[in-house]
Chains A and B, each alone.
Chain A
Amino acid sequence: DCCIAEGDAIKVYVRVRPPSRGPGCDDGDQSLCLSVLSSNTLRLHSKPEPKIFTFDHVADVETTQESVFSSVAKSIVESCMSGYNGTIFCLNLLNIYFSLYTNESSLGPPDSDNFTHNLRGVIPRSFEYLFFLIEREKEKAGTGKSFLCKCSFIEIYNEHIFDLLDSASAGLLLREHIKKGVFVVGAVEQVLTSAAEAYQVLTMGWRNRRVASTSMNRESSRSHAVFTITVESMEKSNEIVNIRSSLLNLVDLAGSERQKDTHTEGVRLKEAGNINRSLSCLGQVITALVDVGNGKQRHICYRDSKLTFLLRDSLGGNAKTCIIANVHPGSRCFGETLSTLNFAQRAKLIKNKAIVNEDTQGNVS
């Protein structure tokens, strides 16, 4: 029974990356702040008490890219083919799209010929697998079935939406369509015919992202990036046309900005900023108070963040979702690691509650 229920929960996969690599963590200090206990637990050497975290899967530094892909992302791609919308969230994986080992300190992706490299990341593997499944379907069904794949690539930075496939555009809007769901008005959609093409589009868009460096972090992504593939299939049998479509979202969550997201807030206070400016976050504080209200009808004036709005379907309902989080084991990264683990743990609880207003008044009589 529990397995059936678990099928719909968000799966969280934590990966420990090799020490002495990665931004801000590569100077001398080799002591570690965590150890992997088993395939689903790890211990963080926090003081005074060490803390044990449990996830769906914990991968140590030896894990290969292939194994990350097949234990977590593969099933999401598969359910996308059977009509579910799927989402893969990546945390602290600036290089999830690409190799984890070879390009850690470079801001951009490697050249597109690296696509075939056997250290390539989860995303290119997902592309390959998706197109492999499509080809297989086509062969099985013969001429009766055809597929159309389109993709878009957008960035959410400071609650503004930018089209990474059209660097000239700025400030796009999110809207809803009664048949097609949430969409970004005016976002470029590109038709894809192969995995290599998908990788090319991704590489191109990636160069338009916003990245920042501080004296603490040599590089950190400041924005969320969402790469969306729409898979549409059309099947003709006996004059009846059957159209099915689903989405695959590949989301790269921002590092330093992540805490600002709705639902993921720690206990920190929101600052007023400059003494002469207004307290623009007061609304969020009040919103939190209202949310506690149980079962009463109320309206909250403040929207969820753009990211949650865009991916609302991915957080429950009829979508399959997984999270891949990457942590660095070095002691110097303790703070970042702790916040990543906390985030990943909270994420497991995120779910759209399917509240059906049910009122039995006078009905059972």
Chain B
Amino acid sequence: MATPTGWASLCDKFRSSLSLSTVESKKDPENEPYRSKYSARELLEEIRQLLGSEEAGEAEGDEAAARLRAARLAVLEYELGVNHTDTQERSAGEEHLVKCIELLQRHRLSRDCVCLYIQAQNSLGILWSERDDIKTAQTYLESAEVLYNQYMKENGNPPLDPNEHFMAEEERLTDQERSKRFEKAYTHTLYYLAQVYQHLEMIEKAAQYCHTTLKRQLEYSGYYPVEWALNAATLSQYYLTKQCFMESRHCLAAASVIFSQAGQAPSAEDNETEQDQQDLCQRKAEIARCWIKYCLNIVQGARKLLEDNIGELDPDRQSELKAQRKKEEDEKERGRKKAVLFGTSDLCDSILAMEEKVSCVFPLDFQEAREVFLVGQNYVNEAKDFFQVDGYVTDHIEIVQDHSALFKVLAFFEEDYERRCRMHKRRVDMLEPICADLNPQYYLLISRQLQFELADTYYEMMDLKVAIGNRLEELDSHTIKKINSLAQLAIKFYELFLDSLRNPDKVFPEKLEEDVLRPAMVAKFHIARLYGKLITSDGKKQLENMQTSLEYYTFLVDYCEKHPDAVQAIETELELSREMVGLLPTRMERLRVKLSSFT
């Protein structure tokens, strides 16, 4: 072994190299981004040379000494490997890292080596992914995962941190700190694996690894609360797309709880700027938006289950599902245990309390749907507080669209047609002013969505008024006026939508782009039907309406003749249009005859 002073200076060098590559390198000038890394590399190579030459003589040491020497050299190889990869010299980086692993191979399950071994495998995983070879990366990372589990099973004592190999006895870390660092290295393994699985399109496994990573971050307090909350909220959206409402709600509740803790804690650096405050408000609003989607999805999912073939609530299905739910309630507890829960007891209690505010099973009647709706509406208001139209146009409108969607799906559960109609009126009231203000040159997509949704809403309101009218003995003039004006408004917005497809010279495209084909055809089809529904006692006017209706039906039929690839997208509409194109001329002829016989 080197002289005490020699060893101390070696350790000093090592420490400087670490500080160069982790601290100093962040301050490097922009035109020389790797200056400190290059200096750190020089120091490491120097240490390796000193270490190599000094100990070459005493090669016949005992097992412990050999292991110590191997570990020290491996630390240097590891640092050199990371250094080279950081500075875009991958091949050299790989050489060093592989050498590190070779040196440790025999001792990888020992307390002084296991942590370094896992870190080296992590780095090799990263390196191979940078070479676009995700399979090789996977091999390294999975073997790190296996090693961790094996070590924890067979030994389990907090292992040494690699840097301790270059520390004096009195500087050594506490077991608590060792364990923290070791667990962090393993958390990184899981985090990289989550990405590997994502790239390999093993989505479910990737999500599971993300979930576990989040869980471990909480356990070992290795997280920024705001960031953690956002990640959990995002993960909830994954579960939403899989219709796993219990998991989704758990993630959201955890996000809200952790986020509220972040708001309370005094900020780490006390120079909190206005910008930071703003950011915090934005994050809060983002989480609220995830909640909105949760509420929306669960009610929409329920609607899907409950509706009959014409889109109305099916009472038989409803009672069937209610009975089924009662049975499942008993099994609920068991299901809960299977999910991965966040946090330890205290935290878990707060999260569970948060969860109680909204159900995670499908609402089956108006009362239940309304409860979810109200929670969603609260989050709409919270989100709108931050995402105001002035400055956040797109976000603001998206939230309004969600609000409208909440009303729409709630209306499905409402039995009273008048009240249902009023809900749709609420939608119109929130959408119409924005649609009028929005400049389609910059918000074409969103402006089309609004036009289409408004048209559809008016269409739906007209249908409701017709249904209400049909219950009366005779249509009164007020109802007729209402039906006609709703139909005209629906036509107006469908036409606005269709106009948005025209080029700057106002010409309608010969061939529609794939992404607007179906909506454009549906708009034409609906306009045709709307003209058919307009009520008038004036025979001439009626004939005109029928003529217009025929023109729109004909458009669909002609278009599909010219572009047969469009047929698939609008099969039902096309069939009905063909039928109408066949029927209407006869009907019109009959009307003409009738009209002429009166004059």
Question: Which A positions have Cβ atoms within 8 angstroms of B?
Answer: 1, 4-5, 8, 82-85, 171, 175-182, 210-216, 222, 245-246, 266-272, 274-276, 278-280, 282-283, 285-290, 292-294, 296-302, 313, 316-318, 352-365
Contacts and interface: CB of A to CB of B under 8 A. Distances in A.
B448 A293 contact: no
A285 B230 contact: no
A289 B203 contact: yes
Nearest to B441: A318
Contacts of A266: 132
A85 B292 CA distance: 34
B253 interface: no
Given A4-B510, A82-B504, A280-B227, A285 B33 contact: no
Nearest to B562: A1
B33 A212 contact: yes
A272 to B, nearest CB: 5
A85 B393 CA distance: 19
A286 B231 contact: yes
- Which among A82, A298, A363 has the highest number of chain B CB atoms within 10 Å? A298
Contact of B22 (A177, A215, A274, A285): A274
A210 B217 contact: no
A215 B34 contact: yes
A290 B222 contact: no
B359 interface: no
A365 to B, nearest CB: 6
- Which among A272, A289, A362 has the highest number of chain B CB atoms within 10 Å? A289
11 contacts: A176-B391, A177-B390, A181-B443, A268-B130, A269-B192, A279-B188, A285-B206, A289-B235, A292-B241, A356-B497, A357-B449
B297 A268 contact: no
Interface residues of B, number: 109
Contacts of A352: 445
B522 interface: yes
B227 A297 contact: no
Tell me if B's interface is mostly helix, strand, loop or mixed: helix
Given A83-B504, A212-B30, A293 B240 contact: yes
Contacts of A297: 240, 293, 296-297, 300, 402, 405
Interface in B57-103: 87-89
A301 B30 contact: no
A276 B222 CA distance: 8
B223 to A, nearest CB: 5
A269 B195 contact: yes
B119 A275 contact: yes
Contacts of A300: 234, 237
B230 A296 contact: no
Nearest to A295: B241
B276 interface: no
Interface stretch (B345-353, B512-520, B540-548): B512-520
A174 to B, nearest CB: 9
Contacts of B125: 269
B444 A179 contact: no
B238 A290 contact: yes
B110 to A, nearest CB: 20
Contacts of A175: 391-392
A260 to B, nearest CB: 13
B558 to A, nearest CB: 15
Given A212-B33, A298-B241, A299-B286, A317 B452 contact: no
B126 interface: yes
